[in-house]
Structure 1
Amino acid sequence: MTATPTSSRTRSRLAAAAASLAIAGAIGVGALTTGTAPVMAEAVSVQAPQVPGFADLVEKVSPAVVSVQVKAKVQPASDEGGLPFDAPDFFQDNPQLKRFFKEFRGGPNGQRFQHRENPNRQPRPVAQGSGFFISEDGYIVTNNHVVDGGSAFTIVTTDGKEFDAKLVGTDQRTDLAVLKVDAKDQKFTYVEFADDSKVRVGDWVVAVGNPFGLGGTVTSGIVSARGRDIGAGPYDDFIQIDAPVNRGNSGGPTFNQSGQVVGINTAIFSPSGGSVGIAFDIPASTAKQVVEVLMKGGTVERGWLGVEIQPVTADIAESLGLKTEKGALVSGAQDDSPAKKAGIVAGDVITQVDGKDVATTKELARLIGAYQPGKSVDVTVWRGGKAETIKVDLGKLPNGDKMASAGKPSEPSGTNSLADLGLTVTKSEDGKGVVVTDVDPDSDAADRGIQPGDVITAVNAQEVAGASDISAAMKEAQKSGRKQVLVQISREDTNRFVTLPVAKG
């Protein structure tokens, strides 16, 4: 049978297709049998500079940091709520601090622990804090508020070992305490204090402690500020850091990158109760000085000048002819105080102590407190438009605060008007100063807080006995080109100063 052209072409196409399939199959079988891997893309890898970490630092210092467990005497629970456990006195006595600064000591969640063997037995509170060794023979630094009220103390190291400790000494004013572990044939890893004068805002720091009783915990941050005054006391000079710290970090160290202690965690700013990145450290310089005394079993004694002081404002500086708003204005010298015996009087502005500048009232308190009682110091004051130096033999800071006696105002007898000042005054019965009997509510005097019953005792350091003395002092200030006068006020046995404009408006 003869094939047609169409069928021949069809057979040719089928043969070609079959050959193509055979070739493809051979190639596929060859790929499987030879074991050649398919080509894959490489994983992402970025060659970038590595940020230095703190692992080496932490490895070295961690053995020196301990947890401090404090067994306290049982105290009745308060129905008023407030801060966890027993906050320091300066927190409890200050409503603003009590609201914003949360003392951060205690066990997990701040709970009190129940005696397991006898659930009906009175619970024995246990608090958790932090501390660190400063000597190989077992001296430990922590906060006073961590150990305050404690009856027994246990130290737990990073490797879980427990040691009984005894309380060597405390200093409430700086919130510092020293414990001692007596362990035979045991040498502890310890750290040393840094020179915090070299600490700068922005420096890296590492905080190590025992937050919420969790044990050794490390956080990092920077120095946020220096010289912070949080209203804790006359010696406020805190270092502010942003390394997260919480309850239980109290007494723990903050390290610089050299492994030295730059500060001791003592307080946090916390509207919520947890860390918000604002914590405060006792500076190493303060701690070192106090700890050295406590280690010797002594008590910290501070110098005492015995003056009531207030800040120098721009108006006060102008009224006294001072070029800057620095110094501490003396509003009164306390009875039988070193200042009064040396001749320091109300109206003096203390600008230096032994050649060291006094910028603020807090700085004066710190400078004087750093001296030992009996120390003779040169106090420079601004008086009558010039600087004078007075030698003062410092006394011992008393336990309680002394107030200067200024004499309470007597009943008025006859009045005089000082219309330009918005005041009506009368002579006091003892002839010392004038008693304010009325204050114009729209006057500068009212704006400055002067009230009926106040006694004006001096104007620009000149004693006054009547309204004419006040007017004369105003005219003298005006002739000198001053816009303000400094008025000394006595109220409820306390002296203070206010400024008033020389002329109304």
Structure 2
Amino acid sequence: MKHRRLILGPGVAALALVAISAPVVAQSPVVPAPIAPAAPVDRVPGSEAEVKLSFAPLVRKSAPAVVNVYAARQVPVRTPFAGDPFFEQFFGRGEGRTRRESSLGSGVIVDPAGLVVTNHHVIADAEEVRVALADGREFDAKVLSKDQQADLAVLKIEDDEPFPSIAIADSDTTQIGDLVLAIGNPFGIGQTVTNGIVSALARTHVGVNDVGYFIQTDAAINPGNSGGALVDMRGELVGVNTAIFSRTGGSNGIGFAIPSNMVRAFTDAAREGRPFERPYIGAGFVAVTSDMAEALGLNRPMGALVQMVRRGTPADDAGLREGDVVLSMNGFPVDNPDTLGYRLATAGLGREAEMEVMAGDGKRERVRLALKAAPETPARDLRTLDGRTPFAGATIANLSPRLAGELEMPQTADGVVVTDVERNSPASRLGLRPKDIIASLNGRDVVSTQELEEDAAGERGGWRIEVDRNGQRLVQTVR
């Protein structure tokens, strides 16, 4: 048997002062002899817990609720000669042929009724989804909700018996240094458990989703772990593993998980049969740089600087103004706009948020802001354009905050947006893509779908088209 060495610290001696009635005699001060520190003591472990330190009880509790997710779809197959008129005469374009493409990931059962949460990228564009439990049972799954921006999806499986599930923890109580387990199906080899610690909180600029707020861990996460569980020492879900930082595709000890509070907000919406919506406040924010912080009198770059506020929106009603800096929300510090976006997304609709705001003059105040659903104003007015114009084959709509959310675009965007483009149409040859905003036509700002349709049809000499694509302005002239 191996002996465990326990280091015992030095004891603390208790000193009592006793007062006695006696003459006072002058004496030299007595210097107590130094107490030697207690020597380390070797002893045989006294309990089973000291002999066997194991995560096995946590794994037995949590692992049955972690599942494999299989997604399949049919994708078109084109021959290598597609697009070459000469070879297409002999070999054809290969249209009509398809092949089955499948992907493998992980998921977590968060409700005994069969709600499974996974990553959006695991089941994206899937035509068939199956879930395999750790005990070998397999079920067809229905996709209840999915959101590319949040990189989350909720599946539903059915059975007569309740499923094993994991309770969702409060990720706001998670601390750097906490022990965690990552459970998933890396490389499709079967359920695997790795351990590590929480390496960092509130990681941003990871580039996985628009929330930009992740738990970082050094627990080994590999391809196939996506959608799996990050579990704390209570056996509760603190995150859904979603990405790794790697140059080779394998684990380098830098993995990222979507915090469980975001997972809870997403699954609650799916459980209630509604889409996941982020509150619309009607303001745009930018990060505070070091130069801005110095000018604002802040001791470090922090907060979200209000760049613009739309009239009549919750931000306007709350009194937010351009140049204000949001420092905290509901008692949680706001380090940057990504942090603010996460706090808004997890707060929920129909509530109020309390924000600490620093105005341009340096005064700090607290404001209350209503968290409302995005409005559909103006009405979208979908139109598919035709005729002898460069826009023929494009479906356009008036961009509202609600439509912007559906298209996964910034909710502050406005104008006329392209929602679809027919193949081999004049619009596709022009290079238009979904989510392009038609900013101007022949030097005139485009305000509505009706106006764009009428102006495009009325032009005969040519069209000078300005398009906003992801914040970049593209100009093209068509004769």
TM-score by length of 1: 0.58
**Residue of structure 1 aligned with 2:201, choices 207, 226, 233:** 226
Paired letter, 1:203: D
Q: Give a deviation string over 1:11-70, Cα, whole Å, max 9, x none.
A: xxxxxxxxxxxxxxxxxxxxxxxxxxxxxxxxxx53346461222222232222211111
2:184 is the alignment partner of 1:209:
yes
- Whether contact under 8 Å (2:280, 2:411) holds in the other structure is no
CA shift, 1:268, in A, is 0.6
Structure 2: gaps of 5 or more residues = 5-44, 46-50, 81-95, 375-400, 415-470, 474-479
The 2-side partners of 1:133 and 1:371 are apart by: 23
Q: Where in structure 2 are the equivalents of 1:347-366 lying within 5 Å?
A: 347-353=323-329, 356-366=332-342
Tell me, in whole angstroms, the C-alpha distance in 2 between the residues paired with 1:239 and 1:227.
6
What's 1:20 paired with?
Answer: none
| SS state at 1:131 partner | strand
Is residue 300 of structure 1 aligned with residue 276 of structure 2?
yes
Specify every segment of 5 or more residues in structure 1 that has no aligned partner in the other structure, as ranges. Answer: 1-44, 80-119, 406-490, 494-505
Shift of 1:290: 1.4
What is the letter of the counterpart of residue 189 of structure 2?
A: L
- In structure 2, what is the Cα distance between the partners aligned to 1:275 and 1:77? 35
- When the two chains are superposed, the root-mean-square deviation of aligned CA atoms in Å is 3.0
CA-CA distance at 1:377 after TM superposition: 4.4
Partner of 2:2: 46
In the TM superposition, residue 267 of structure 1 has moved relative to its aligned partner by 0.5
- Output one character per residue of 1:351-379: Cα deviation in whole Å (capped at 9) or x when no partner: 34456543322222223333445655454
Q: 1:401 aligns with which of 406, 410, 422?
A: 410
Q: Secondary structure at the match of 1:178?
A: strand
Compared CA separation, residues 241 and 389, structure 1 to 2 (3 A): closer
| Cα distance in 2, alignment partners of residues 65 and 170 from structure 1 | 19
CA contact (8 A) 1:304 1:373 kept: no
How many pairs does the alignment contain? 323
* Cα distance, 1:127–1:371 mapped onto 2, change above 3 Å: same
> Could you tell me how far 1:393 is from its partner in structure 2?
4.1
2:108 to 132, 142, 150: 132
Q: 2:386 aligned with 1:386, yes or no?
A: no
Q: 1:242-283: per-residue Cα shift (whole Å, max 9, x none)?
A: 111111111111112221111111011111111111111111
TM-aligned CA deviation for residue 311 of structure 1: 2.2
For the residue of structure 1 that corresponds to 2:344, the secondary structure is helix
The structure that has the greater radius of gyration is 1
Secondary structure at 1:62's aligned position in 2? helix
Flag the 1:373–1:223 CA change in 2: closer, same or farther, 3 A.
closer
Shift of 1:391: 5.0
Q: Distance in 2 between matches of 1:404 and 1:177?
A: 25
Instruction: Please name the residue that 1:262 is paired with.
Output: 238
Q: Is the 8 A contact 1:337 1:395 kept in 2?
A: no
Among 134, 156, 166, which residue is 2:142 paired with? 166
State which drifts further: 393-402 or 123-132. 393-402
TM-score by length of 2: 0.61
Which is bigger in relative contact order (C-alpha 8 A, separation at least 6)?
A: 1
Q: How does 1:101-140 map to 2 (within 5 A)?
A: 122-140=98-116
Q: Which residue of 1 aligns with 2:24?
A: none
Q: Does 1:328 align with 2:328?
A: no
- The alpha-carbon deviation at position 389 of structure 1 amounts to 4.9
User: Could you tell me the percent identity over the aligned residues?
Assistant: 38
Shift of 1:145: 1.3
Q: 1:350 is paired with a residue of what secondary structure?
A: strand
User: In structure 2, how many angstroms separate the alpha carbons of the residues matched to 1:322 and 1:210?
Assistant: 46
Deviates more, 1:309-318 or 1:220-229: 309-318
Give the residue type in structure 1 aligned to 2:122.
V
SS at match of 1:275: coil
Does the 8 A contact of 2:176 with 2:200 survive in 1?
Answer: yes
- Report the equivalent of 2:59: 58
Whole-angstrom distance in 2 between the partners of 1:336 and 1:221: 48
Q: Which amino acid aligns with 2:364?
A: A
